Structure 1
């Protein structure tokens, strides 16, 4: 119980730093990385609840739109053109253009659904949000986008990979923590209680 109250005090203290009664509130630009994992949506919800709504309670005369905005970034990994040896002599088979286009269309539809869900979450909390869809390696593109957009804070979710999986697969959140040019907040989902 004490841990929660101390965490709340830290958040309020950090928000008080942003707010000086003699000055205007600095508009906070928070970039949140969104993918199809529950962890990324939990991170978005946490950011909206703690970084924007709580500021409104510290400075009630300020609307949430004046406080800042969220930039939702989603990175699509490019479709890999695999060549498959087929037939006698190892002739190479390339996927037909229709297959490639079908995969691209499915990726775009998936991205649109994810960002629509994320935008709705922001809208429900009355937080201004923009979207950004990029193609490439998520690790590099998220860090690059945060730098280009001059984000004040980058928020990423944690999937909770173990040490071995993280070593082999790599971790987007770990990479961003070491390479982003702005502060990075890694939000871990709460541990599920076993009943």
Structure 2
């Protein structure tokens, strides 16, 4: 059985992507195992030293003071809760389309985590939005699609959002 993984984040384009996949690739999805993944970004370093920021996909959290271990833990827990909420919404969208999906999340640099998950779960097809690919292109050359196709050895489908 083939495995298909869709990457989501808190941007509405992620849900548009998921709905597009469910409606346009329904025959392929019904005969495959669908996995939905949300990466939990690592907390950013201090810039400047008195300001702590954490990127959560399109959103950012700012703390106007130095972080200690407890604050770092609280911020990580908050990103985990956000990711779990995103996955619950995605699971409901899948159920509304008659598709059962497996959901999961992990913390780390999204490009590394996504490619590692693709390898560990032996994903055959990775589906991301062009917006996600553009966001990740800023952190490394070639975008996620180029990085994963070179390093994860799977088919990568980048879906362009209609404007």
Shorter-normalised TM-score: what interval? 0.7 to 0.9
Q: For residues 121 and 108 of structure 1, do their structure 2 counterparts lie closer, same or farther at Cα, with a shift above 3 Å needed?
A: same
Match of 1:116 among 88, 110, 113: 88
Match of 2:16 among 17, 42, 45: 42
Structure with the larger helix share: 1
Structure with the larger strand share: 2
Distance in 2 separating the partners of 1:178 and 1:189: 24
Q: For residues 112 and 161 of structure 1, do their structure 2 counterparts lie closer, same or farther at Cα, with a shift above 3 Å needed?
A: closer
Q: How many residues align?
A: 146
- CA apart distance, 1:77: 1.3
TM-score calculated relative to the size of structure 2 = 0.75
Moved over 4 A (4+): 165-170
Unmatched tracts of structure 1, length 5 or more: 1-26, 57-63, 86-92
RMSD of Structure 2 on Structure 1 (CA): 2.8
Q: Confirm or deny: 8 A CA contact 2:137 2:144 kept in the other structure.
A: no
In the alignment, which residue of structure 2 is the partner of 1:5? none
Q: For residues 31 and 42 of structure 1, do their structure 2 counterparts lie closer, same or farther at Cα, with a shift above 3 Å needed?
A: same
Structure showing greater radius of gyration is 1
Unmatched tracts of structure 2, length 5 or more: 51-64
In the alignment, which residue of structure 2 is the partner of 1:32? 6
Match of 2:106 among 134, 139, 161: 134
